[in-house]
Structure 1
């Protein structure tokens, strides 16, 4: 009888331990999933910002913008035909 009671007690403890392990595992996986969702949102926001920065860079690098800065801030002008020298090989 004592051996049977010991076996049942051991089985009961194993079932309780297994149940606690399942609860812990489920809680941990939910926490990881929440962290994954947050990181996915950050990634999406960074992708949007990256696209906006690429668009801004292409806007600043247009020929019209470069010519505007050269004429306005740097006071550069196109040389006239008399100042142009063509070199031939």
Structure 2
């Protein structure tokens, strides 16, 4: 009977250690999950900021201003514009 009690006590202790270990692992994984969720949210915020910045940088008025100021580009005169029809290969003047 004493051997059975010792065996049962050892099994109970082993089970308790298993429960404690699994709870500790679950808590560590939960903390890691929360960190990854926070990181994903930060990336979403950064993505929104980058999209806003890209929209601002690509505004037609800004692009035209930079083209004329930095690259010395200008709008072509009406006589310099040529329209090309796809398929015929012939240039057509307006």
What TM-score, normalized by structure 2, do the two folds share? 0.81
Higher helix proportion, which one?
A: 1
Specify the alignment match of 2:50 in structure 1.
53
- The equivalent position to 1:40 in structure 2, one of 37, 47, 72, is 37
**For structure 2, which runs of at least 5 residues remain unmatched after alignment?**
84-91
Cα deviations across residues 7-26 of structure 1 (Å, max 9, x unaligned)? 11111100011011111111
Number of positions where the alignment pairs a residue of Structure 1 with one of Structure 2: 85
What TM-score, normalized by structure 1, do the two folds share? 0.85
Residues 1:19 and 2:13 aligned together: no
Cα pair distance change 1:7/1:69, threshold 3 Å: same
- Measured in 1, the distance between the counterparts of 2:78 and 2:2 equals 110
- Measured in 2, the distance between the counterparts of 1:16 and 1:39 equals 35
Highest RCO, 1 vs 2 (Cα 8 Å, sep ≥ 6): 2
